[in-house]
Amino acid sequence: MPLLWITDPHLDRAGPAATTRFLEAVQQSDGDPIVLTGDISNAARCVADLERIADATGGPVYHVLGNHDHYGASVGTVRDAVVALAERRPEIRWLPPAGLIPLPDGRLLLGVDGWADGRHGDPRSTPLVLNDDRLIEEIAAEESRAGKLAVKRVLADADARRLATLLLRAAEAGADRIVVATHVPPFIEALAPESREAHPHWHPLLVCGATGSVLRRVAARHPGITITVVAGHSHRACQVQLLPNLRVEVGEARYGAPRVMRLPS
Ligand SMILES: [Fe+2]
């Protein structure tokens, strides 16, 4: 039985019928772990939605947070809420603090949220803006574009450091196959080439350069470790082999139609 993967379900945008279909698909996990790569809903209901998913699967849910999960609140309060959730319901685990998770197929799972950090493309000249700038408190508090970008870079860099720590621990533990769950694609190569999101205007908003640098460095240093990265955020399916031992898969998503996929083997 393959493991299940959910990305960008945006349950706040899904109607009752679509949500019921989604939760029925979640039940197929048969108690195996589910990997969830963010944008569950928004800050007001993210915890309740995680519980609904966990209730449906009956098994553990390992997740990262997406940018939308902070909409309407702050990064600090949402993190506090998911940490408290894990204390109350230990089967629902936010991955950055959860550490290394052995999967039933023998792989080791770890994850960080990731933030689009403007390390690709030109963040100062792109005409595009995400709602992050006004709906996430820490970012909205900065008035200037440069100030908002600085906050995103601090978040991205902290996640990249956490990712480096977890990958090092996995290597020291002798892992040979690692699954990295993250919300924001770490490479521009992971933006579907034919999609509008592949345009350089999108690069500053859709890619986390900080986590990408860590992944490339660790994969190059440890050719014996195979790393599979699963991500969301762009909503465009894309599979790319960055290095012989580093592969990225971005999951397709559509507002109003949450779905369940198989975790790439
Ligand atoms: Fe999303």
CATH (domain of 176): 3.60.21.10
- Band of residue 252 on the pLDDT scale cut at 50, 70, 90: very high
Residue 2's pLDDT is 80
Distance from the CA of 163 to the center of ligand 1, in angstroms? 21
Q: Which residues surround ligand 1, an ion (CB under 5 A)?
A: 8, 39
Q: How far is the CA of 228 from the centre of ligand 1 (A)?
A: 20
- Output the CA 167–ligand 1 centroid distance in Å: 25
Tally of structural domains, the chain: 1
Helix axes 16-26, 46-57, angle to 10 degrees: 50
Q: What is the mean pLDDT of residues 6-13?
A: 98
Distance (Å) from CA 232 to ligand 1 centroid:
7
Q: Which pLDDT band holds residue 41 (cuts at 50, 70, 90)?
A: very high
Helix axes 46-57, 75-88, angle to 10 degrees: 30
Averaged pLDDT, 65-93: 98
- Tell me, in angstroms, the distance from the centre of ligand 1 to residue 69's CA: 9
Distance 38 CA to ligand 1 centre (A): 7
Q: Which domain holds residue 160?
A: 4-262
Distance in angstroms (rounded) separating the CA atoms of residues 69 and 99:
21
Which tens digit of pLDDT belongs to each residue from 195-220? 998 999 999 999 999 999 999 999 99
CA–centroid distance, 177 to ligand 1, in Å, is 27
Q: What is the whole-number distance in angstroms between the Cα of residue 113 and the centre of ligand 1?
A: 12
Question: pTM here?
Answer: 0.97
> Ligand 1 centroid vs 252 CA: distance in angstroms?
10
Distance from CA of residue 8 to its chain's centroid? 9
Distance CA 11, CA 253 (A): 12
What's the CA-to-centroid distance between 77 and ligand 1, angstroms? 20
**Distance (Å) from CA 235 to ligand 1 centroid:** 6
The conformational region for residue 31 under phi > 0 = left, psi -120 to 50 = alpha, else beta, is left
Confidence at 150, pLDDT banded by 50, 70, 90: very high
Judged against a pLDDT cut of 90, whether residue 110 lies above it is answered with: yes
C-alpha to C-alpha distance for 118 and 106, rounded to whole angstroms: 35
Local structure of residue 183 (DSSP, 8 states): S
Torsion angle, alpha carbons of 181, 49, 1, 102, to 10: 40
- Max Cα-Cα span within the chain: 50
70 close to 62: Cβ distance less than 8 angstroms: no
DSSP 136: B
Cβ-defined contacts of 152-155 (< 8 Å, 24+): 152/115, 152/116, 152/117, 152/118, 153/115, 153/117, 153/118, 153/119, 153/210, 155/75, 155/113, 155/115, 155/117
What average pLDDT does this structure show over 244-265? 97
Ligand 1 centroid distance, CA of 3 (Å): 21
| 39 Cα to the center of ligand 1, angstroms | 5
Q: What is the CA(181)–ligand 1 centre distance, in A?
A: 14
**Structural tokens at position 240:** 């790319």
State the distance from the centre of ligand 1 to the C-alpha of 46, rounded, in angstroms. Answer: 13
